[in-house]
Protein backbone atom coordinates (compact mmCIF):
# COMPACT_ATOMS: atom_id res chain seq x y z
CA UNK A 1 0.00 0.00 0.00
CA UNK A 2 1.04 3.59 -0.65
CA UNK A 3 2.90 4.99 2.43
CA UNK A 4 0.75 8.15 2.50
CA UNK A 5 -2.44 6.09 2.29
CA UNK A 6 -1.11 4.00 5.21
CA UNK A 7 -0.42 7.18 7.17
CA UNK A 8 -4.00 8.35 6.62
CA UNK A 9 -5.27 4.94 7.66
CA UNK A 10 -3.34 5.32 10.95
CA UNK A 11 -4.75 8.83 11.38
CA UNK A 12 -8.31 7.57 10.84
CA UNK A 13 -7.73 4.95 13.53
CA UNK A 14 -6.08 7.43 15.88
CA UNK A 15 -8.84 10.05 15.77
CA UNK A 16 -11.30 7.38 16.95
CA UNK A 17 -9.31 6.87 20.15
CA UNK A 18 -10.72 8.54 23.24
CA UNK A 19 -7.15 8.93 24.56
CA UNK A 20 -6.28 10.92 21.42
CA UNK A 21 -9.48 13.00 21.60
CA UNK A 22 -8.82 13.88 25.25
CA UNK A 23 -5.03 14.42 24.92
CA UNK A 24 -4.28 11.65 27.40
CA UNK A 25 -0.86 10.03 27.72
CA UNK A 26 1.13 13.01 26.45
CA UNK A 27 3.19 13.76 29.59
CA UNK A 28 1.39 17.07 30.18
CA UNK A 29 2.07 18.25 26.62
CA UNK A 30 -0.64 19.75 24.47
CA UNK A 31 -1.96 17.45 21.74
CA UNK A 32 -0.39 19.02 18.67
CA UNK A 33 0.65 16.82 15.76
CA UNK A 34 2.44 17.60 12.52
CA UNK A 35 1.36 15.37 9.66
CA UNK A 36 4.13 15.89 7.13
CA UNK A 37 3.85 14.74 3.54
CA UNK A 38 5.41 15.10 0.11
CA UNK A 39 4.14 18.42 -1.35
CA UNK A 40 3.60 16.67 -4.70
CA UNK A 41 0.74 14.80 -2.99
CA UNK A 42 -1.15 17.98 -2.01
CA UNK A 43 -4.32 17.15 -3.91
CA UNK A 44 -4.48 13.67 -2.38
CA UNK A 45 -4.04 15.15 1.11
CA UNK A 46 -6.82 17.69 0.51
CA UNK A 47 -9.14 14.91 -0.65
CA UNK A 48 -8.38 12.73 2.39
CA UNK A 49 -8.82 15.62 4.84
CA UNK A 50 -12.13 16.57 3.21
CA UNK A 51 -13.33 12.96 3.41
CA UNK A 52 -12.29 12.56 7.05
CA UNK A 53 -14.04 15.78 8.06
CA UNK A 54 -17.21 14.79 6.20
CA UNK A 55 -17.41 11.30 7.71
CA UNK A 56 -16.10 11.90 11.23
CA UNK A 57 -18.67 13.24 13.66
CA UNK A 58 -19.52 12.86 17.32
CA UNK A 59 -21.91 10.08 16.27
CA UNK A 60 -19.31 8.14 14.26
CA UNK A 61 -16.03 8.66 16.15
CA UNK A 62 -16.96 10.56 19.30
CA UNK A 63 -15.69 13.97 18.12
CA UNK A 64 -16.20 16.46 15.32
CA UNK A 65 -13.33 17.22 12.99
CA UNK A 66 -13.14 20.90 12.11
CA UNK A 67 -10.91 21.95 9.25
CA UNK A 68 -9.33 25.41 9.22
CA UNK A 69 -7.52 26.50 6.07
CA UNK A 70 -4.88 29.16 6.74
CA UNK A 71 -5.36 30.82 3.36
CA UNK A 72 -9.11 31.13 3.92
CA UNK A 73 -8.54 32.63 7.38
CA UNK A 74 -5.89 35.07 6.13
CA UNK A 75 -7.94 36.23 3.15
CA UNK A 76 -11.11 36.60 5.24
CA UNK A 77 -9.21 39.01 7.51
CA UNK A 78 -7.68 40.90 4.58
CA UNK A 79 -11.05 41.24 2.85
CA UNK A 80 -12.91 42.12 6.05
CA UNK A 81 -10.47 44.95 6.72
CA UNK A 82 -10.45 46.06 3.06
CA UNK A 83 -6.72 45.52 2.50
CA UNK A 84 -6.70 43.29 -0.60
CA UNK A 85 -6.11 46.12 -3.09
CA UNK A 86 -3.56 47.70 -0.73
CA UNK A 87 -1.54 44.49 -0.68
CA UNK A 88 -1.63 44.22 -4.47
CA UNK A 89 -0.32 47.78 -4.76
CA UNK A 90 2.25 47.21 -2.01
CA UNK A 91 3.65 44.21 -3.85
CA UNK A 92 3.89 46.19 -7.08
CA UNK A 93 5.62 49.15 -5.46
CA UNK A 94 7.77 47.62 -2.70
CA UNK A 95 7.99 43.89 -3.42
CA UNK A 96 6.74 40.69 -1.86
CA UNK A 97 8.94 40.97 1.24
CA UNK A 98 6.96 44.09 2.25
CA UNK A 99 3.70 42.17 1.79
CA UNK A 100 5.03 39.49 4.13
CA UNK A 101 6.05 42.06 6.75
CA UNK A 102 2.78 43.98 6.59
CA UNK A 103 0.63 40.84 6.56
CA UNK A 104 2.41 39.59 9.69
CA UNK A 105 1.83 42.99 11.30
CA UNK A 106 -1.91 43.13 10.64
CA UNK A 107 -2.38 39.49 11.63
CA UNK A 108 -0.30 40.13 14.77
CA UNK A 109 1.70 36.97 14.11
CA UNK A 110 4.24 37.79 16.83
CA UNK A 111 1.53 38.14 19.47
CA UNK A 112 0.46 35.31 21.78
CA UNK A 113 -3.14 35.45 20.62
CA UNK A 114 -2.81 36.49 16.97
CA UNK A 115 -5.62 37.00 14.45
CA UNK A 116 -5.31 33.47 13.04
CA UNK A 117 -5.76 31.96 16.50
CA UNK A 118 -8.60 34.34 17.41
CA UNK A 119 -10.51 33.42 14.27
CA UNK A 120 -10.03 29.69 14.88
CA UNK A 121 -11.15 30.05 18.49
CA UNK A 122 -14.24 32.01 17.46
CA UNK A 123 -15.32 29.25 15.08
CA UNK A 124 -14.54 26.22 17.22
CA UNK A 125 -17.46 23.94 18.05
CA UNK A 126 -18.45 23.24 21.60
CA UNK A 127 -18.08 19.63 22.62
CA UNK A 128 -15.57 17.02 21.53
CA UNK A 129 -13.54 18.44 18.67
CA UNK A 130 -10.38 17.69 16.70
CA UNK A 131 -8.85 20.54 14.73
CA UNK A 132 -7.23 20.00 11.34
CA UNK A 133 -5.11 22.92 10.12
CA UNK A 134 -4.54 22.98 6.35
CA UNK A 135 -3.36 25.43 3.72
CA UNK A 136 0.16 25.98 4.99
CA UNK A 137 1.57 25.52 1.49
CA UNK A 138 -0.86 28.14 0.22
CA UNK A 139 0.28 30.84 2.66
CA UNK A 140 4.03 30.14 2.84
CA UNK A 141 6.17 32.28 3.22
CA UNK A 142 3.65 34.88 4.40
CA UNK A 143 2.66 32.78 7.40
CA UNK A 144 5.10 30.35 8.98
CA UNK A 145 3.98 27.11 10.59
CA UNK A 146 6.03 27.58 13.75
CA UNK A 147 4.43 30.99 14.39
CA UNK A 148 0.93 29.56 14.12
CA UNK A 149 1.72 26.55 16.29
CA UNK A 150 3.64 28.51 18.93
CA UNK A 151 0.76 30.90 19.48
CA UNK A 152 -1.98 28.27 19.24
CA UNK A 153 -0.46 26.07 21.95
CA UNK A 154 -0.72 28.98 24.40
CA UNK A 155 -4.45 29.38 23.79
CA UNK A 156 -5.94 26.20 22.31
CA UNK A 157 -4.78 23.43 24.61
CA UNK A 158 -7.80 21.24 25.34
CA UNK A 159 -8.40 19.68 21.91
CA UNK A 160 -6.04 17.78 19.62
CA UNK A 161 -4.69 19.74 16.65
CA UNK A 162 -3.27 18.15 13.50
CA UNK A 163 -1.42 20.45 11.11
CA UNK A 164 -0.93 19.08 7.62
CA UNK A 165 2.56 20.14 6.58
CA UNK A 166 3.88 19.90 3.00
CA UNK A 167 7.48 19.11 3.79
CA UNK A 168 9.43 17.33 6.49
CA UNK A 169 9.30 17.40 10.27
CA UNK A 170 11.68 15.38 12.41
CA UNK A 171 10.24 16.37 15.83
CA UNK A 172 12.72 19.25 16.02
CA UNK A 173 13.02 20.99 12.69
CA UNK A 174 10.48 22.03 10.10
CA UNK A 175 11.53 21.91 6.46
CA UNK A 176 8.90 23.40 4.17
CA UNK A 177 8.49 21.63 0.84
CA UNK A 178 11.42 19.39 1.77
CA UNK A 179 13.84 22.20 0.96
CA UNK A 180 13.27 25.44 2.88
CA UNK A 181 14.44 25.50 6.47
CA UNK A 182 12.08 27.04 9.03
CA UNK A 183 12.80 27.79 12.66
CA UNK A 184 13.06 24.95 15.12
CA UNK A 185 9.82 23.80 16.66
CA UNK A 186 9.76 21.31 19.51
CA UNK A 187 6.22 21.17 20.81
CA UNK A 188 4.36 19.11 18.20
CA UNK A 189 4.41 15.37 17.97
CA UNK A 190 5.47 13.97 14.62
CA UNK A 191 2.58 11.95 13.23
CA UNK A 192 4.18 8.93 11.61
Q: Are the C-beta atoms of residues 178 and 137 closer than 8 Å to each other? A: no
pLDDT in tens, the chain (192 residues): 799 999 999 999 999 999 899 888 666 667 889 999 999 999 999 999 999 999 988 889 999 999 999 999 999 999 999 988 988 898 999 999 999 999 999 999 887 778 999 999 999 988 899 999 999 999 988 988 878 888 888 788 889 999 999 988 877 777 777 665 666 555 677 787
Q: What pLDDT score was predicted for residue 116?
A: 93
Q: How far, in whole angstroms, is CA 95 from its chain's centroid? A: 26
Quote the strand ranges of the chain, DSSP E.
Answer: 32-37, 64-69, 129-134, 161-169, 173-176, 180-184, 189-190
Q: What pLDDT score was predicted for residue 182?
A: 63
Q: What pLDDT score was predicted for residue 172?
A: 73
Residue 172 DSSP SS3: coil
Q: What pLDDT score was predicted for residue 28?
A: 60
Distance CA 34, CA 177 (A): 14
pTM (2 decimals)? Answer: 0.90
Amino acid sequence: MDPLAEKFKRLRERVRSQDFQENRGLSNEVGYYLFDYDPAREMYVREQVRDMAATSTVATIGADIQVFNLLDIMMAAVDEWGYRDDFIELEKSDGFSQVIDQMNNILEMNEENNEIVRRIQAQMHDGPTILFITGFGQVYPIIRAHKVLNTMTQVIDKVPVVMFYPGNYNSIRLQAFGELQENNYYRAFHFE
